[in-house]
Amino acid sequence: MRHSISLFLFLFAVWLLLSGYFETLLLVLGLVSCAFVVWIAKRQDVVDHEGHPVNLRPIRWIQYTFWLIGEIVKSNIDVARRVWHPKLPISPTIVKVPADADELRQVIYANSITLTPGTVSIDLTDATITVHALTREGAMALEQGEMARRVRGVRRPE
């Protein structure tokens, strides 16, 4: 029930942000369509704990976001330099990095790896992420495990 309510509130917030009209008729239409979507989601059995991660630490989360933006900017510049370089100095490497057992942390970690240009997570089996890196340096930086350490702090330990 808690997850349905949070889904409904989220959907209605999106409706308000996208429409920008506050007339009674449109608000009622919004409420009805949000309720309808929640009903469909219930029927499809997709409303569960994955839809609403409640035990994140907000401050760590914001810190992590800013750190990740910095990393993305740095690796963007690096990859752009390599692409424009006449000799194309790349050394594609495949490396396996250990991830946390927790599902949400795995998702955050793998998505962060993919978001950073120069590293793409290509497979995830038994809490081990297979990463394709554009350069050997990128692979080594990932193996240092700073990103993994920061991801671990994002969620409260159970």
Partner 1 sequence: MIFAVAACAILFTMALTLSRGILGPTTYDRILAVNSFGTKTVLIIAVFGFMTGRPDFLDIAFVYALINFVGTIAVLKFFEYGDLGGARSPDEFES
Partner 2 sequence: MQLLTDILSWITILTGSFFVVTGGVGLLRLPDFFTRLHAVSMPDTLGIGLIVLGLVLQAGFTQTSTKLIMIFLFMLFTGPAATHALAKAALHGKLKPLASEKKDQEESSP
The footprint of partner 2 (CB under 8 A) covers 14, 17-18, 20, 72-73, 76, 79-80, 83-84, 88, 90-98, 110-111, 114-123, 132, 134, 139, 143-145, 148-149
Residue 23-62 contact track with partner 1, rule CB under 8 A, x = bound:
--------------------x-x-----------------
Full DSSP string of 115-139: HSTTEEEEEEETTEEEEEESSHHHH
List the end-to-end C-alpha distance of the chain, in Å, as a whole number: 22
For partner 2, give the closer residue by CB, 9 or 39.
Answer: 9
Q: Is 18 in the site for partner 1 (CB under 8 A)?
A: yes
- Smallest separation, CB 65 to partner 2 (Å): 11
Beta strands in the chain (DSSP E): 93-98, 119-125, 128-133
Distance CA 33, CA 18 (A): 14
Residue 50 sits at the vertex; the CA angle it makes with 49 and 56, to the nearest 5 degrees, is: 85
For partner 2, give the closer residue by CB, 35 or 120.
Answer: 120
